[in-house]
Amino acid sequence: SKEVERHSYDVVVIGAGGAGLRAAIEARMQGKRTAVICKSLFGKAHTVMAEGGIAASMGNVNSNDNWQVHFRDTMRGGKFLNLWRMAELHAKEAPDRVWELESWGALFDRTQDGRISQRNFGGHEYPRLAHVGDRTGLELIRTLQQKIVALQQEDFKEHGDYEARLKVFQEATVTRLLTVPDAGSETGNRITGAFGYWRESGRFVVFEAPAIVLATGGIGKSFKVTSNSWEYTGDGQALALLAGASLVNMEFVQFHPTGMVWPPSVKGILVTESVRGDGGVLRNSEGKRFMFDYIPDVFKEKYAKSEEEGDRWYTDPDNNRRPPELLPRDEVARAINSEVKAGRGTPHGGVYLDVSTRLPADVIRRKLPSMHHQFKELADVDITAEPMEVGPTCHYVMGGIEVDPDTAATPGVLGLFAAGEVAGGMHGSNRLGGNSLSDLLVFGRRAGLYAAKYVDELGEERRDVAEEQLDEAAAEALAPFGNEGAENPYSVHQELQQTMNDLVGIIRREGEMAEALTRLEELKERAAKAGVEGHRQFNPGWHLAIDLRNMLLVSECIAKAALERQESRGGHTREDHPGMSAEWRQVLLTCTLAADGGHVDLVRRSPEPMRADLLALFERDELMKYLTDAELPADAQAET
Ligand code: FAD
């Protein structure tokens, strides 16, 4: 291992999406020598695909909006399982992060009077999503990249080297975090660096650093039908587990209600919620706007009773309630699932989403340009003239690495931080649309800031990478070349995706999840024998064989936690336990690596009780729907 390529930094950020870039910018602005690593091309992260917008209570379109309303909506959307401190910080800081983006050059769509425009989205009481048409993620990444270039130009002036303090390493995949024992941490581990390979050459590379920020995104590629790109193989979640950190809330996986269902080659690709936010309606094969039949009790007061009221809301939101097409995503996805199951689906097994009868063609082309293009190109459907066919698609994981809400530090491993989709807690059991892009910026910044502080506190007291860990990591990565012809990594992956889709999907049953866990064990054995042919130079089969370890570990977490949680809440629906239970709200399921190193253990934890001033933001009647009697505030406190 002596001749492995090595780089040394203060802070290494793994992931170049919104969370990773915002963390790296912050660490650099704190004066730290910072590296960003990503496995795809720089600028290609998942964040680029974000369409609808970024949620922040700026109140530009409806001045009644403020952080308290955003906080309430977020907690309701997550069915009160959110780590409330994260939801609080997020609601308070999101507007600053959007204005900051604007000062760094982001060009958002405007209101008539020239302010940043905000659009409606499911679960948000007021128009709240700042956006750039339906291509918001692209503008977000573009702006952050531009900021990085600006910082590099400053460094050139000062040091004669653009990359003196901030460098991007693209097309490098990290396969292991490196640690040394440390008596000062809970689990006894401290970060020393990260190990990975260059995708192109297959050669190994080591990044030495006392602080690492994981910002690797989600897990969607463990499921068959998904809106996620090839990058989402649960790498960060698995890297954290293997280093000694824990994952929380992994049973909560968001199935977005509207993915394309036809043709088969594009099944799962996202149809943005903006279509509904801007007036699109859902109908079954009988032409009925079925969502009116699916408003759950907890939301009865907040949604329109009739189509007429729902339609009036678009122009007069103060005197009407919103249409049920804009319920949180878990509700809409379940409703679509039920309609299709009841035989009222479209020819290709979805429902109709229609905006053509609701808006003039030129408005559709202006507000939803990507959707117009996507359906024309991929499905030969003109959405200005015909309805789309849509159905649920695996979209987002609410669960993730357990972090301290304020600092984004993992409690288990010194020097390890996490932000963005890879981190858990913020969204509880269900994320509201638009709350991810704001989450990336709020907690990306915090992760970069506190990683820098951690490095400051360490001073000169850094530890070397343990050489035997490099040898182990290299041997693990090379194993598939020794298994030539034994198992095909592509078949193992396909079976994994089918298993998760069929047995741990949108509607869950005890027997099926137990069956899934048995199959995951078999798949793990087969993955260990997965073999590849050829060389280390760009070899996608080899890369997949390495990714399988991550997807299987993360899938085990999802299946184990889902089997354990005997209630239905947000992105976790149990046919055998349909109700939501106040007792289960007091349970957080966390996963840690088992002693054998190849499995996960489930541990129950109790969430911290919500601060009284935050509880007081809700009516007592509403709290009674979620909390146990013992948790309810005294009457006096609830009178606000
Ligand atoms: P990403 O942007 O995915 O970045 C992950 C990075 O980690 C990448 O650079 C990747 O290369 C790198 N990486 C991963 N593994 C490794 C490894 N092993 N080694 C090195 N690098 C690695 N949310 C909203 O709020 N509003 C929206 O309108 C919206 N629209 C969406 C539309 C679509 C189609 C999808 C799929 C999601 C949408 N979301 C939206 C969700 C949101 O886009 C994501 O949750 C968010 O972008 C995740 O950002 P991130 O920074 O955590 O990760």
- Pick the residue with more confidence: 534 or 554? 554
Return the minimum-mean-pLDDT range out of 9-18, 146-155, 283-292, 475-484: 475-484
Q: Summarize the confidence of residues 355-371 as an average pLDDT.
A: 94
In this predicted structure, what is the pLDDT of residue 620? 94
Sign of CA dihedral 559, 561, 567, 570: negative
Q: Summarize the confidence of residues 460-464 as an average pLDDT.
A: 84
204-208 and 5-8 strand pairing: parallel
User: CA 485, CA 532: separation in Å to the nearest integer?
Assistant: 7
Q: Which residues share a beta bridge with 72?
A: none
Instruction: Go through the chain and tell me how many residues it has.
Output: 640
User: CA 624, CA 479: separation in Å to the nearest integer?
Assistant: 54
User: CA 250, CA 425: separation in Å to the nearest integer?
Assistant: 10
In this predicted structure, what is the pLDDT of residue 133? 87
Question: What atom in ligand 1 is closest to the CA of residue 239?
Answer: 18
Q: Is 546 in the pocket of ligand 1 (CB under 6 A)?
A: no
CA of 639 to the centre of ligand 1 (A): 41
Q: pLDDT band at residue 485, thresholds of 50, 70 and 90?
A: low
* The pLDDT of residue 361 is above 80: yes
Q: Decide if 46 is catalytic.
A: no
Question: What atom in ligand 1 is closest to the CA of residue 141?
Answer: 2
Q: pLDDT band at residue 328, thresholds of 50, 70 and 90?
A: confident
pTM above 0.80? yes
User: CA 440, CA 98: separation in Å to the nearest integer?
Assistant: 11
* The pLDDT of residue 347 is above 60: yes
Q: pLDDT band at residue 507, thresholds of 50, 70 and 90?
A: very high
247-248 and 253-260 strand pairing: unpaired
Tokens 């606000």 correspond to 640
Q: Which helix (H) or strand (E) holds 428?
A: none
In this predicted structure, what is the pLDDT of residue 230? 87
Tens of pLDDT, residue by residue over 27-54, are 999 999 999 999 999 988 999 999 889 9
Tokens of 484: 């030539």
* The pLDDT of residue 349 is above 60: yes
Question: What atom in ligand 1 is closest to the CA of residue 422?
Answer: 52
In this predicted structure, what is the pLDDT of residue 119? 93
408, 417 in Cβ contact below 8 A?
yes
User: CA 90, CA 250: separation in Å to the nearest integer?
Assistant: 21
CB count, 10 Å around CB of 237?
Answer: 33
In this predicted structure, what is the pLDDT of residue 591? 98
Which listed residue (124, 199, 256, 431) is catalytic? 256
DSSP helix/strand/coil, 118:
strand
* The pLDDT of residue 624 is above 50: yes
Tens of pLDDT, residue by residue over 159-212, are 999 999 999 999 999 999 999 998 766 667 999 999 999 999 999 999 999 999
Q: Decide if 256 is catalytic.
A: yes
Q: Summarize the confidence of residues 9-20 as an average pLDDT.
A: 98
The preferred substitution site among 46, 73, 271, 554 for testing ligand 1, maximizing ligand atoms within 8 Å of CB, is 46
Model ipTM value: 0.99
Tokens of 321: 């309630």
Tens of pLDDT, residue by residue over 548-569, are 999 999 999 999 999 999 999 9
Q: Summarize the confidence of residues 311-340 as an average pLDDT.
A: 93
In this predicted structure, what is the pLDDT of residue 637? 47
Q: pLDDT band at residue 460, thresholds of 50, 70 and 90?
A: confident
In this predicted structure, what is the pLDDT of residue 187? 66
* The pLDDT of residue 473 is above 50: yes
Q: pLDDT band at residue 234, thresholds of 50, 70 and 90?
A: very high
The preferred substitution site among 12, 216, 547 for testing ligand 1, maximizing ligand atoms within 8 Å of CB, is 216
Please give the sequence-ordered ranges of beta strands (E in DSSP) within 398-497, or none if there are none.
400-401, 413-414, 416-418
Residue 164 burial by CB count (10 A; 0-12/13-18/19+): exposed, middle or buried?
middle
436, 396 in Cβ contact below 8 A?
yes
3-class secondary structure per residue, 486-518: CECHHHHHHHHHHHHHHHCCCCECHHHHHHHHH
User: CA 99, CA 116: separation in Å to the nearest integer?
Assistant: 9
Question: What atom in ligand 1 is closest to the CA of residue 228?
Answer: 36
DSSP helix/strand/coil, 547:
helix
Q: pLDDT band at residue 510, thresholds of 50, 70 and 90?
A: very high
CA of 52 to the centre of ligand 1 (A): 14
Tokens 């190109």 correspond to 377
Which listed residue (119, 131, 199, 276) is catalytic? 276
Q: Is 10 in the pocket of ligand 1 (CB under 6 A)?
A: no
Tens of pLDDT, residue by residue over 97-153, are 999 999 999 999 999 999 999 999 889 999 999 999 888 999 999 999 999 999 999
The preferred substitution site among 25, 44, 47 for testing ligand 1, maximizing ligand atoms within 8 Å of CB, is 47
Q: For the chain, what is the mean pLDDT?
A: 94
In this predicted structure, what is the pLDDT of residue 638? 46
* The pLDDT of residue 315 is above 70: yes
Tens of pLDDT, residue by residue over 248-283, are 999 999 999 999 999 998 999 999 988 998 899 999
Q: pLDDT band at residue 636, thresholds of 50, 70 and 90?
A: very low
In this predicted structure, what is the pLDDT of residue 639? 46
Tokens 């040091």 correspond to 159
